[in-house]
Structure 1
Amino acid sequence: MARKEKLDPETAALIQWCTEVEGFLVAGGATLAQAQEHIEEQVEWFTDMFYEGLTPEEAAKAALND
């Protein structure tokens, strides 16, 4: 059985933030698959927004208006 790798708190926070962004993208009309794909394709952009202090809702709005 593979050993689970423990995430550092910062990485865990980023993943949680992206999960919340995903929810707002879906609420804005994207499918779950589209939201996940967009976040994966634009991971650096979303990471920058996370570190700039945007809320998940603000990041989703920016993505939907892009």
Structure 2
Amino acid sequence: MAKKNEELDPETLALINWCIEVEGFLVAGGATLEQAQEHIEEQVEWFTDQFYDGLTPEQAGKAALNGH
């Protein structure tokens, strides 16, 4: 029997979608998709703080590319 997917709360879903957008800016800045995903995973606390501080995905991507 297939396990039912857990529903994500709207805030968590918004954060995930925001990170997906950041990923695109990291790739546009020269990272591979794998590098972008790895960086976000490794720096998840920093990216979460940027999300709650109100940065746009573009602003967070630029900060990450500049070595935040």
Give the TM-score category using the shorter length: over 0.9
Q: Please name the residue that 1:11 is paired with.
A: 12
TM-score scaled by length of structure 1: 0.99
State the Cα distance separating 1:53 from its structure 2 match: 0.1
Gaps of 5+ in 1: none
Q: Distance in 1 between matches of 2:8 and 2:62?
A: 28
- Could you say what the CA RMSD is over the residues aligned between the two structures, in angstroms? 0.2
AA aligned opposite 1:60: G
Runs of 4+ residues deviating >4 angstroms: none
Who wins on radius of gyration, i.e. which is larger?
Answer: 2
Q: Please name the residue that 1:35 is paired with.
A: 36
State the Cα distance separating 1:58 from its structure 2 match: 0.2
AA aligned opposite 1:17: W
Give aligned pairs, total: 66
Percent identical across equivalent pairs?
79
State the Cα distance separating 1:33 from its structure 2 match: 0.1
